[in-house]
Amino acid sequence: MTNSLRVRLLWWLLVPLAMYVFMTGKAAYDNARHTADLVQENTLLASARMIAGEVEWSDGRLLVDVPPSALEVFASPQGDQVFYNVSVDDGRLLAGAPDFPTRAADGHDAPNYYDADLHGKPIRAVGFVRQMYDNGAIRRVLVSVGKTQASRDAMVRELWRPQLVRQIEIVLLAVALACIGLTFELRPLLKVKEEVMDRDPMQLEPLRVERLHTELRPIVEAINQCIARLGLQVAAQRRFIADAAHQLRTPLTLLETQLQFARQHREMEPSLNEALAAMQRSNRSMVGLTNKLLLLAQAEAADYTQLAKQKVELCAIAQDVIEDLAMFAQKREIDLGADLTGSAWVIGHEGLLSALIYNVTENAIRYTQAGGHVTVAVARDERNVTLTVTDDGPGIPAEARSRVFEPFYRASADTEGTGLGLSIAKEIVQAHRGEIGLGTREHPERGVVVTVNFVRAL
């Protein structure tokens, strides 16, 4: 059987209903038959009595003149055939069909109803006895009237059908209402499904249970417990990365100092100089990576409800970042410009927002060819504050665009980098409930425009 809750519940409703309809339908049919039989028997008896009333003595003989009205009572659209037979107990036939299967009640003179066959047709018949007295003699005259069953069957149908139709209508109505009700009542469950589907992978708040049915609550509460355990696990893992990065920094700093010291004393062994320089470069990139890992862990752990307590001004932060990067831009012969007029307040963490602007702007400078232009702009409208970083470099190929936000993904392997810059940027933006997107400059169509939207803090 299907596993659909809706179908199964409907099934549970339909089977008892069908049984109910069957039983009431059968009772209605029995009732209709009983009523039609009663009506038919009453008419048969009335007709027999009428005929019996016409039996009379004439010159010591019994005679009968069957009145037409005695047979007219049976007139019906179904055109039933009517038979009768009037015979005396001495065996004489006074009128009617000689082969009529007569049957008097044994021992008493009450009307006797019975089923019989005449000319191959089933009939319902009555035998009615009238006693005739003459000069002390008693004659028993048996009047039998029978008819075929067409009008009686029609009556049964007429009595029964409307009831059956009504029952079926009620069942259909019940099913329709049940379907509507089920759709309605299953909605909270589907809502839970949507809520789960719409979640970000790292959204680990519990699902809401207030508006759920009592039966569903335990399920959702169990899911919530599972989410909570997952949350603890994730937090532990993040703490681990942060701790590891933190721990790495000390020995790396130490190593840097030792390398510097070794290079200062290179006169002793000139051939070592090159190796030391290479070691120093890899040490520096390790320091860079460790810092970025730490930043990523911080960004991932950032909680909006904590951040919401602080208001910061984005133009000032951007200005500081531009000053930090001015040297780097000059070295790469990039014209680094800014469009930061007025003030733009947002809710957030100054250090993280600074790292966000730094990473995006650093990318723009790093990946744009010498002589290129990079512009950092902050704009605001009624509701939003928008940061854009525009460059006129080579741009990012379409197939790489969806992946550059993944940790450790790099589209240009020939340059220095970790592949963490944009993942950090994305984590920071998400922690601030903002949106980050990539575009291309329109005139001329080249380069990258990174757009970040925040809700404006008033």
Ligand X SMILES: Nc1ncnc2c1ncn2[C@@H]1O[C@H](COP(=O)(O)OP(=O)(O)O)[C@@H](O)[C@H]1O
Tell me which residue has its CB nearest to ligand X: 421
Query: In angstroms, what is the minimal distance from the CB of 200 to ligand X?
Result: 19
Query: In angstroms, what is the minimal distance from the CB of 197 to ligand X?
Result: 28
Could you tell me which residues are beta bridge partners of residue 85?
A: 96, 144
Alpha carbon distances (Å) from 54 to 23, 76, 88, 131, 132: 47, 24, 14, 13, 11
Could you tell me which residues are beta bridge partners of residue 347?
A: 311
Q: Which does 404 bind (CB under 5 to 8 A by kind): ligand X, Mg ion, none?
A: ligand X
In the bound state with ligand X, the residue whose beta carbon lies nearer, of 356 and 420, is: 420
In the bound state with ligand X, the residue whose beta carbon lies nearer, of 212 and 425, is: 425
In the bound state with Mg ion, the residue whose beta carbon lies nearer, of 146 and 393, is: 393
Q: Token pair of 398, please? A: 């379409």
Q: Which does 396 bind (CB under 5 to 8 A by kind): Mg ion, ligand X, none?
A: ligand X
Q: Does 421 bind Mg ion (CB under 5 A)?
A: yes
In the bound state with ligand X, the residue whose beta carbon lies nearer, of 111 and 288, is: 288
Q: What does 44-57 look like in DSSP terms, one character per residue?
A: HHHHHHHHHHT-EE
Q: Which does 43 bind (CB under 5 to 8 A by kind): Mg ion, ligand X, none?
A: none
Smallest CA-to-CA distance from 145 within 64, 226, 59, 32 is with: 64
Q: Which does 127 bind (CB under 5 to 8 A by kind): Mg ion, ligand X, none?
A: none
In the bound state with ligand X, the residue whose beta carbon lies nearer, of 81 and 412, is: 412
Instruction: List the interface residues with Mg ion, window 111-140 (CB under 5 A).
Output: none
Q: Using CB under 6 A as the criterion, which residues of the chain lie in contact with ligand X when the complex forms?
A: 359, 363-364, 367, 391, 393-396, 404, 410-412, 417-423, 448
In the bound state with Mg ion, the residue whose beta carbon lies nearer, of 344 and 356, is: 356
Residue 314: what residue type? Answer: L
Extended strands (E) in 222-333: 311-313
Radius of gyration for the chain, computed over Cα atoms and rounded to the nearest angstrom: 51
Q: Does 447 bind Mg ion (CB under 5 A)?
A: no
Q: Which does 418 bind (CB under 5 to 8 A by kind): ligand X, Mg ion, none?
A: ligand X
Q: Which does 294 bind (CB under 5 to 8 A by kind): Mg ion, ligand X, none?
A: none
Give the 3-state secondary structure of residue 93: strand
Binding mask 360-379 for Mg ion (x = CB under 5 A): ---x----------------
Q: What does 260-286 look like in DSSP terms, one character per residue?
A: HHHHHTGGG-TTHHHHHHHHHHHHHHH
Q: Which does 410 bind (CB under 5 to 8 A by kind): ligand X, Mg ion, none?
A: ligand X
Smallest CA-to-CA distance from 43 within 116, 146, 182 is with: 146
Stretch that binds Mg ion, among 5-13, 388-396, 416-424, 445-453 (CB under 5 A): 416-424
| Rounded to 5°, angle at Cα 338 from 352 and 400 | 60
Stretch that binds Mg ion, among 128-136, 309-317, 334-342, 359-367 (CB under 5 A): 359-367
Give the 3-state secondary structure of residue 436: strand
Smallest CA-to-CA distance from 223 within 187, 199, 244, 246 is with: 199
Residue with tokens 């701790």: 243
Residue 263: what residue type? Answer: R
Interface positions with Mg ion (CB under 5 A): 363, 421
